Amino acid sequence: MADIDSNKQMMLGGSDTAIRRNTGVPAVLWVAGLVLLPAVLAYALTTSNELQVTAAVIALLGVVSILARPYVGLMLFIGLLYIRPEEMFPAMAGMRLTLMIGLVTLVGTWFQLCLNRSPIVRTPVNPLIIGFGVIVVISGMTVGNLSEAAAEIGKLVILVLLILNLIRDRERYQSIVSTLLICTAYLSVYSIYLFYTGGAFVQDAGETVRAQGSGIFNDPNDLAATIVAGMALAVTRLSLSRGPTRLFYVALACIMLAAVLLTNSRGGMVSLLVLVMGAFLSFSKNKVKSIVLAVLTVFVVLAAGPGRMTTFDSEEESANQRFYFWNNGVNMLLDNPLTGVGFRQFGDHNNGATAHNSFVLCFGELGIPGYFCWIGIIYFCYRRRGESDKVDVEDPADVRELLGARLALSAYLAAAFFISRTYVAVPYLLMSLPLAKQISIASQPTLFALKGPEGLKTAGGILAVCVGSFLTIWLMADRLM
């Protein structure tokens, strides 16, 4: 048995055994840094501004650290996606710090894989996310928006590829989930702090006050969707923990729930209801009892939620406008089925307003090819494993963690149906989690090996989901507008 486990670790390429083989690389990098750094520092201090030199030295040490340990770079990359310093501090605006960290981490990962002679993780998601990125860049180029398209989509492609290739064992999966919980806790506490210190989002002539964060999380709807997804991961940990640890996750989930309720977001409420129903059905053995408890909890949440969160009226102006926007997106696809209207061009064809639906924004701007790639990535997050994948999910903890990753994604997608988040990092991070979990328990770095007829059948399934979702949105927009 020990020999089998050892062989599995060698095949994964991200195990401790594989890492030990590359101990020479960090040593070489650090020695080079220690030899060159004093000389460069002495020269620079005599010719440049001290503050600039200090920043450059810190940056150099950071680059060396990430190249030596790309997994650390991935955690930093994720942290920056949530904290968003470039949007919080004006002096850092335009630096594209997050993108640079991602690129350095990607180089470090490639270097590590080559040195260890480890193959990259092979999955259909690789060509789908790369294809999606290429389509976005081409779309941006055709409308004169190449640099923004490349920068925005580059971060997303790098993020997915890094997670799939660096999260290859259970320990690392646990670490990335812990990182997401820390980031979500930060967002929750920070938004609550802003709410009670005069930094809330005020609308409807002061009648509605809503919690918000910073950067893209200035939008209470986006903040609520992100926190509910993190809450799903906290609930999963809660179902697996015992004793004082269980109390910790109860407290963490309560803080996140309070932050969501303060956002006063109807999309957040929909996401929260999906989480409640999904958690009861996923983590309870007695399905009948779980359904009853889920329904009762839903009624309690709806009764206790702020007025705006529990008002779902298609005649209400905001809701009616959204259906009108969806209908415009449908027409954009019908008029331009192969190309859409172009990256960041939805507003130009919709009186300056966005789609208020991530699915509509995707097919409206990128056409059928872009929508196929995007839906394809989501499809594989829920796809049942085939015999060729050799994924052992007999361990109840593995089963629950996989269900929890899918639940987090489902909760976010429920909210994404009412907000335009096709090009932000959070959904791609959540899409990567179910895949990373399966890779972490697999016996080989291959997931969903599709060959011959099976590949064509899968492509047909993805296309069917694309058509079905498009027709559903079209019908909703037509009937409710």
DSSP string, 336-375: STTT-S-TT-TGGGTTT---SSHHHHHHHHHHHHHHHHHH
Q: Which residues pair with 209 in a beta bridge?
A: 202
Mean pLDDT along residues 362-377 = 97
Mean pLDDT along residues 29-41 = 55
Ramachandran assignment for 442, one of left (phi > 0), alpha (psi -120 to 50 degrees), beta (any other): beta
DSSP category for residue 201: E
Predicted confidence at residue 23, as pLDDT, reads: 42
Mean pLDDT along residues 107-123 = 83
Higher-confidence residue of 191 and 310: namely: 191
User: What's the pTM value of the predicted model, to 2 decimals?
Assistant: 0.84
Residue 441 has pLDDT above 70, yes or no: yes
d(CA 344, CA 147): 12
**Would you tell me the crossing angle of helices 24-47 and 97-116 to the nearest 10 degrees?**
140
Predicted confidence at residue 175, as pLDDT, reads: 93
Residue 177 has pLDDT above 50, yes or no: yes
Q: By mean pLDDT, which of 174-188, 261-275, 282-296 is the weakest?
A: 282-296
Residue 307 has pLDDT above 60, yes or no: no
CA distances to 65, 175, 262 from 79, rounded to whole Å, are 16, 13, 23
**Cβ–Cβ < 8 Å for 58, 89:** no
Label residue 15 by pLDDT band (50, 70, 90).
Answer: very low
Higher-confidence residue of 191 and 307: namely: 191
Predicted confidence at residue 283, as pLDDT, reads: 80
Residue 311 has pLDDT above 60, yes or no: no
Q: Where are the domains of the chain?
A: 1-118, 169-311+396-403
Label residue 2 by pLDDT band (50, 70, 90).
Answer: very low
Residue 103 has pLDDT above 90, yes or no: no
**Cβ–Cβ < 8 Å for 185, 254:** no
User: Looking up tokens 């959204």, which residue turns up?
Assistant: 322
**Would you tell me the crossing angle of helices 24-47 and 50-68 to the nearest 10 degrees?**
170
Predicted confidence at residue 72, as pLDDT, reads: 85
Predicted confidence at residue 259, as pLDDT, reads: 94
Query: Each residue of 70-102: pLDDT tens digit?
Result: 888 888 888 888 887 766 666 556 667 777 888
Structure tokens, 62: 């950071």
Report the chain's C-alpha Rg in angstroms: 23
Structure tokens, 254: 């309560």
Predicted confidence at residue 56, as pLDDT, reads: 59
Residues making up the chain, counted from first to last? 481
d(CA 362, CA 359): 5
User: Looking up tokens 């696809």, which residue turns up?
Assistant: 333
Chain mean pLDDT for the chain:
81
* Cβ-proximal residues to 259 (8 Å cutoff; 6+ apart), any chain: 187, 188, 189, 191, 192, 211, 223, 227
Output the CA torsion sign for 424, 427, 428, 429: positive
Predicted confidence at residue 383, as pLDDT, reads: 86
Predicted confidence at residue 440, as pLDDT, reads: 87
Higher-confidence residue of 396 and 407: namely: 407
**Cβ–Cβ < 8 Å for 218, 201:** yes
CA distances to 105, 162, 432 from 110, rounded to whole Å, are 9, 10, 19
Structure tokens, 398: 């593995």
Percent of the chain with pLDDT over 70: 75
